[in-house]
Amino acid sequence: MNNLALAGIITSGIVIILVMKFVTRWIEVTREWQMERARLQALEMQAAAAAAGAPMIQQPAANGSAAPPYAIAASHVLEMGAVNRFLDDILREKPARFTPENLREFTRNYAERLGSGGFGVVYRGAFPNGVQVAVKILNSTLDRRAEEQFMAEVGTAGRTYHINLVRLYGFCFDATTKALVYEYLEKGSLDRVLFDLEGDALGFDALSGIVAGTARGVRYLHEECQHRIIHYDIKPGNVLLTADYTPKVADFGLARLCNRDSTHLTMTGARGTPGYAAPELWLPLPVTHRCDVYSFGMLVFEILGRRRNLELQHPAVTVSQEWYPRWVWQRFDQGKFGDVMAASGIHAKDGEKAERMCKVALWCVQYQPEARPSMSSVVRMLEGEEEIARPVNPFTYMASVHMVSSSSSGDGDGGSAAASSYSSKELRGGTRSAANNQGR
């Protein structure tokens, strides 16, 4: 009898624990649903306003699937069936599905071109209610890989919302037109602000704010989404700026969803942009979300120096500064960080913040992925909430190539040899990357 009573108590305890876990999870799911509902209501209001002036916008049918905007030739139905089912599922996340006629109306027949890339052209436009948008028209001759990246863009951006991520309003996908419709960012890309001589000259406070905001956006992708998102292509050209220079991470075309429990990913080809891509992206090494941490570190170096990391024609660059990250490490290791500040025009009052950024960048670009910090740690270090240990040399892996280059050059200039060795190594990886990304 005592054994039966004990068994009953144990069973009751287990049931109570399970019920508590269920209730806790239900509360968490409810909170997430409420937050998502608020976001979706805002998007629905914008879509409704757009629909009022653009009746051709395709609306979901009562059963949740989207009716086609017009008849599509039978030869395209089978080819596009699977893609359309995917996009119809995405409609439940509330990006609007537009027709080609909508896009022509939004852009005034594509009157203002903002830029172009390997996959198409971006135009400025506006919804009928006045909301400014950027319309990315993808090349009509997309291969299977490009179509997969289109779906990745819609699937990823449609499920995420954060102040430091560019918002996707909607898309167009039919036999004639494939496009993505984003919020419009007034100041354009960080690339233009940093490297365009006619662009805005930002103070160090604004630049450090861009660094911190970008870090928070990547942290959200890595640690705060339901599924971890790896961007694969963090660089100044993929960081856009609002009117008050709030940074927003853009272009999820290379992104890929993976479960948080997955430690490594299997890559089918090199990704990213040479100069920013982590070594494991173009070498036969395991790939994790830490590849974005490496790219972020390279971006921080460019913000710190207000120049490209490898820029041979820069007027203020000496031969030994050809590859900026290693030159910075050498100055930092020798206790001469003042040289870095002087070369970048950083005032003494910003010295502590600049050195903090430098240390973070040096940790982010460590060759071994496990030596790089998480993005939440990066944010805390940038905001002064976490102590930063003294960085170790992130470029020791270049030593053997450096010795070969310096001995063959005969000029004894270690900095130049280091830059040349890195450049050649990067180009070997970059050639494969460029081939796979079609000039992205």
- State residue 138's pLDDT score: 82
Mean predicted confidence (pLDDT) in 287-316? 86
User: Mind telling me the catalytic residues?
Assistant: 233
Which distant-in-sequence residues (6+ apart) come within 8 Å of 437 by Cβ? 118, 254, 270, 271, 272, 273
Please tell me the CATH code under which domain 74-183 is placed. 3.30.200.20
Say which range, 51-65, 186-200, 292-306, has the weakest mean pLDDT. Answer: 51-65
Bridge-based pairing of strands 120-126 and 113-117 is antiparallel
Mean pLDDT of 144-152: 72
More confident residue, 423 or 138: 138
Q: Is 136 annotated as a binding residue?
A: yes
The architecture in CATH of the region 188-437 reads Orthogonal Bundle (1.10)
Q: 252 with 157: CB under 8 angstroms?
A: yes
- Identify the band that residue 100 occupies on the pLDDT scale cut at 50, 70 and 90: very high
Phi, psi angles (nearest 5°) of residue 60? -65, 145
Query: What is the mean predicted confidence (pLDDT) over 291-300?
Result: 96
- List the chain domain ranges: 74-183, 188-437
Of 169-178, 191-200, 278-287, least confident by mean pLDDT is 191-200
Question: pLDDT at position 270, please?
Answer: 56
Residue 77 has pLDDT above 70, yes or no: no
pLDDT at 435: 33
Considering only residues 278 and 216, tell me which one the structure prediction assigns the higher pLDDT: 216
Name the helix (H) or strand (E) containing 124.
strand 120-126
Give tens-digit pLDDT for 43-56: 555 544 544 444 34
CA 317 from chain center: how many Å?
29
Residue 375 has pLDDT above 80, yes or no: yes
Among the residue ranges 104-113, 213-222, 316-325, 415-424, the one predicted with the least confidence is 415-424
Nearest to 249 by CA among 287, 208, 280, 220: 220
Q: How confident is the model at residue 200 (pLDDT cuts 50, 70, 90)?
A: low
Q: Residues near 178 by Cβ (< 8 Å), separated by ≥ 6?
A: 137, 138, 140, 142, 147, 150, 172
**With contact defined as beta carbons under 8 Å apart, do 364 and 296 qualify?**
yes
Q: Is the pLDDT of residue 140 over 50?
A: yes
Q: What is the pLDDT of residue 396?
A: 87
More confident: 151 or 80: 151
Mean of the per-residue pLDDT values of the chain: 75
Q: What is the pTM of this model?
A: 0.69
**pLDDT score of 185:** 95
Give the CA count within 13 Å in the CB-facing half-sphere of 109. Answer: 0
